[in-house]
Amino acid sequence: MSSPVPYEEPYEDSPTINTTESGYASGNSSQDSLPEVYFSRPHLKFLNSQLQKLEPQDILRWCITSLPGLYQTTAFGLTGLATLDILSKLSGPIKPNVDLIFIDTLHHFDETLSLVDRVRRRYGTTIHIYKPAGTDTAAEFSTKHGNKLWETNEELYDYVVKHEPAQRAYSELQVKAVLTGRRRSQGGKRGDLDIIEIDDNGLIKINPLANWSFAQVQEYIHANNVPFNDLLNNGYKSVGDWHSTQPVSQGEDERSGRWKGRAKTECGIHNPKSRYALFLRQQAMKQQEEELSQALQKVALDA
């Protein structure tokens, strides 16, 4: 995916440069001469037009042969579990080696945490678990951030439990691309989902099951005996934090049980970065105003 890089004549006192290169960058070329993974707009549009015609297993084959630094982000919903199972069954000379990233908000259902252990035993996949910074339990979280932060400051809650741990994971693991469990049939902002997306940070997001319906995912799970969240047998279709997830009624879309009765449709990881950039700017401005006020009060006292 990298563009040709013109060959430059080496300095005579630079014996470490390979003077036999063909004139084009390759995997063995100096790192400085190669760009990061990127797609131009026409290339991205072309890839999406082609990949949307393929089945998930073919999309995943393309991913594991084309994208370095590839991980799967998952909260162990049905779509992510189907993706994991499909990956485990891919045949061919190139075997997938895709680790999982799980953001433990410290407010997951017990059934979700139990499923994490079952998945680990079934597939043997490495699972990288990230929690809100400086906390390891729900009690520690409440002590640090106060009770029911999701009610008192929803933006801060999303940032602390989802966005910041995800960004920390991407940085520490050097993630370049992630597989997600989002699908068009989930509704809301996901209705016009592409197979490949690129976020504001340049992270490549692949939605390999974007074309599948909930019924197709469910059929795959049962046909392949894939372990799933026990809550799905009790009227739930999409499972998040216990305080903001409810069962859904007949005829409701599958994510209607998330943040029921509110306009919110996304959890914080898949929202645009700009939302959080705005939030952080607001927090910084508030702190600056407080510091300015304190400084003015000190000046007044010293006068």
Active site residues: 267
CA atoms within 13 A on the CB side of 71: 21
For the chain, the first-to-last Cα distance in angstroms comes to 65
Per-residue b or e along 77-113, where b marks 16 or more CB atoms closer than 10 Å to that residue's CB:
bbbbbbbbbbbbeeeeeeebebebbbbbbbbbbebbe
Q: Are strands 196-198 and 204-206 parallel, antiparallel or unpaired?
A: antiparallel
Rounded to the nearest 5°, which phi and psi values hold at 251? 90, -15
The conformational region for residue 182 under phi > 0 = left, psi -120 to 50 = alpha, else beta, is beta
Residue 199: both structure tokens together: 């976020």
